[in-house]
Amino acid sequence: MSLLTQMAPLAAAAELDAAALIQRLAKPSPATIDFAEVRFSALLKQPLIVSGTLGYAGPTTLDRHVTRPYREDTEIRGESVRVSREGEPVRSFALKRAPELSGLLTAFTALLAGDHDSVRREFEIAASGDETLWQLKLTPRDARVRKHVPGIQIHGRRDLPRCFTIINDNGGASVMLLGGASQAQLPQPLTREWLERFCASPDA
C-alpha cells in the first residue's frame, strides 16, 4: 500500500488547525512515496532535477532512492547517514553535517507519524488555508539549524501533501514534489515561481 493511500481523510473545518492536520496525516509504516526534487542554487546554471522514491519506516528513519538521472541511495538511521552512488565509494557521515537532510528527516517523519508535539519542539508552526488547500510553514527553533535552513514549507490538498520545500542559507531551495505531483510535466525553463504557483494551485 502506498503512503498516500494510507493517509486518513481530513475532516472539514472552517479554520485550519495545525495540530489536527498533523495528527490526521499519520499513517502506518513502512510506506513509500514517489518524489521529484528540483534543486535551485546560485552555483547551478539551471535547476537540478532528480526523481525516485522515499521510504519511511518510522521516526529517525528515512530512505531516499534516486533512480533518475543517476542512481543513488541515501539511508538515514538516527544520527547516521550512508550514501551510495553508482560508480562511487560509499560515504558515511553524521546527520549534523547535513542540515538539509536533518530538516527533511525531522519534519517529514514527524509529520507522517502524526506527531505534532515533536514538530512543535523542533519548529515554530504556522498553518494557513483549509482542508481543500493548506500550507504549513516550519521555522527551526534552534538558531544553529536556522542559519543553514531558514524554513520549510509544506503544501497540501485535502489529505495529501504535495510539495515539500526546504529553503537553504544561500537563497536557494530544494522543492520536492510528492506522489501524483511528482508526475507533473515541468516546463522549460523551470523557475521557482512556477513551482510555487503549481504547489499552491487547487487545480494542478
Q: Within a domain: residue 101?
A: yes
Q: Within a domain: residue 7?
A: no
Model pLDDT for residues 70-114, shown as the tens digit of each residue:
999 999 999 999 999 988 999 999 998 888 888 888 888 888 888
* CATH code where residue 32 lies: 2.50.20.10
Structural domain containing residue 123 = 14-200
Alpha carbon dihedral 37, 18, 15, 152, in 10-degree steps, equals -30
Q: Within a domain: residue 73?
A: yes
Q: Average pLDDT of each block of 10 consecutive residues along the chain (204 residues)?
A: 45 66 84 94 92 90 95 94 94 91 86 88 92 91 89 88 90 93 95 95 80
Reduced to 3 states, what is the DSSP secondary structure of residue 4?
A: helix
At 15 the pLDDT is 57
Q: Within a domain: residue 5?
A: no
Q: Within a domain: residue 174?
A: yes
Q: Within a domain: residue 1?
A: no
Q: Within a domain: residue 84?
A: yes
Q: Within a domain: residue 131?
A: yes
Q: Strands, E, within the chain: which ranges?
A: 31-40, 48-56, 61-68, 72-77, 80-85, 91-94, 123-129, 134-140, 151-157, 160-167, 173-178
At 11 the pLDDT is 39
pTM for this model (two decimals)? 0.86
How many domains does the structure of the chain reveal? Answer: 1
